[in-house]
Structure formats: structure tokens, C-alpha cells
Amino acid sequence: MPDSYTLTIVKPDAFGSNKAGKIIAHLEAQGFRVRAARVLHLTKVQAEEFYSVHRERPFFGSLVQFMTSGPCMPLVLEKADAVAALRKAIGATDPKEAEQGTVRQLFAESKERNAIHASDSDENAARESRFFFSESELLAAR
């Protein structure tokens, strides 16, 4: 299978507690390659737009507050079947339900402060990658 791309974010809980390096090393050890990366502090407007699909959910306000509480680190990752592979590698949303050895089981604090985001489809991976990276950064990744 040819390699494909997905978008991940090391979230403010993990970035702020110096776990970004360990999380990236963990993913690299599973065959993911970093093709683009940056550190930024999301604004409220950006976080609301990124998570707009959850706008009606009861946790939306709290999620936006959390995602704007400190810097985060979006990355484009490459691997065969990248979207599915990364979803499996990060584990369930709630770290209490995440399989042993997954990123969330190892590094997350709670269902909301869950260390990492991963795109849930190729379409969303492309949309979310364009949210954080310019066309030239994405071209360089390919």
C-alpha cells in the first residue's frame, strides 16, 4: 500500500508538560514519519473553527478553553494507511478506555485533556492539514 498522510496535534496538556518529544518518538518508532510540524498557540476563533463539528456538544466551550490554554504542536505524519494507523496508535478518546501502549493510555490525563488529536478520515486529514500548514509546506511534505 502506498504511504498516505494524516494530521495530528500534540495538545496543550502534553506539550505543556514536556511530553511532545516522547510522543513523537513513540510514533516514529511505530513507523510514522514527520513531514511537517509547527508550534502555535491557537486563538479562540481558530479553536472554534477547528472543532466546529463539535459546536453543539456540551463539552465544546470547555474543549475550546483547553485547546487555547497553551501552545500545541500540529504535525503531518506519513505512513501506509496513515489515518487508520494513527487512530489505532493513539487509542480511545478516554485514556481509561485506551489500549495498553497507545499514546493516550501512556500520556493522556482525561477524556478532554487527552494529549493528542488525529484526523478521522482522509478528507478531514487534508482539510485539517490545510488548516495549519501552507500549500508550500504541504508540497514540501510530499
Per-residue x/- track, 33-62, ligand CMP (CB under 6 A): ---------------------x----x---
What is the crossing angle of helices 82-90 and 122-132, to 10°? 80
Those residues whose C-beta lies under 8 Å from the C-beta of residue 121, and which sit 6 or more positions away, are 83
Residue 26 in contact with ligand CMP, rule: CB under 6 A: no
Buried b (16+ CB within 10 A) or exposed e, 127-142: ebbeebbeeebbeebe
**Which uninterrupted H or E stretch holds 5?**
strand 3-10
- The question of whether 26 is a catalytic residue gets the answer no
Place of cell 463539535: 54
Nearer to ligand CMP, 62 or 140 (CB): 62
Choices 18-26, 27-35, 70-78, 111-119 (CB under 6 A): range interacting with ligand CMP: 111-119
Residue 75 in contact with ligand CMP, rule: CB under 6 A: no
**What residue ranges bind ligand CMP (CB under 6 A)?**
54, 59, 63, 93, 111-112, 114, 117
Catalytic center residues:
117
